[in-house]
Amino acid sequence: MLPHRYEIATGGRYGHDMAREAVEREMEELLGTVLSVFDRVPEELVDAEWQRFKRAQFGETLIPNRCKELIGVAVAAVLRCPYGLRLHTELARLHGATDAEVAEAVHYAGLVVGWSTQMTGLGLDLADFAAEVDATVRHLARTMGLAE
């Protein structure tokens, strides 16, 4: 039997849940408050969601927190999510991002969305585009001195 998706996301914590009260104590200790959105998470999932949130937001990952939060800003901007935009902008600033970097993340997200819309809407052939990308990357690697 395959593990439940929450077990995968939390590294096996699912099935040995912390009670909501313990989650809230841990959250308050880490964040100084209990995030009200967790009040709406079903009892049987609150520990798994907290572990997933905590690990992604505050755990040591391959992507530095400043960069991770700038990605969050870009995603929230594309999704037009004021909650995520507020959270990730403030956390990006907390991790040292400047207002100019936050603005660039939003601009870059708009650029990616815009070109994606155009290429998809115009029916660009994906195989042809992949070949163009490969050729471009090879050229840039040579001209930037990054080729092996």
Q: What is the pLDDT of residues 34-50, one digit of tens each?
A: 999 999 999 999 999 99
The span from the CA of 54 to the CA of 50, in Å, is 6
DSSP label of 11: T
Q: What is the pLDDT of residues 81-116, one digit of tens each?
A: 999 999 999 999 999 999 999 999 999 999 999 999
Phi and psi at residue 109, to the nearest 5°: -60, -45
- For residue 53, the number of C-alpha atoms closer than 13 Å in the C-beta half-sphere is 19
Show me where the domains of the chain are located.
1-59
pLDDT attached to residue 118: 96
pLDDT attached to residue 1: 40
Percent of the chain with pLDDT over 70: 88
Q: Report whether pLDDT(28) > 50.
A: yes
Tokens for 61?
């990952």
Confidence of residue 14 (pLDDT cuts 50, 70, 90): very low
The span from the CA of 143 to the CA of 129, in Å, is 21
Residue 14: exposed, middle, or buried by beta-carbon count in 10 A (0-12, 13-18, 19+)?
A: buried
Give the residue-averaged pLDDT of 139-143: 94
Global pTM value: 0.80
pLDDT attached to residue 148: 61
pLDDT attached to residue 6: 43
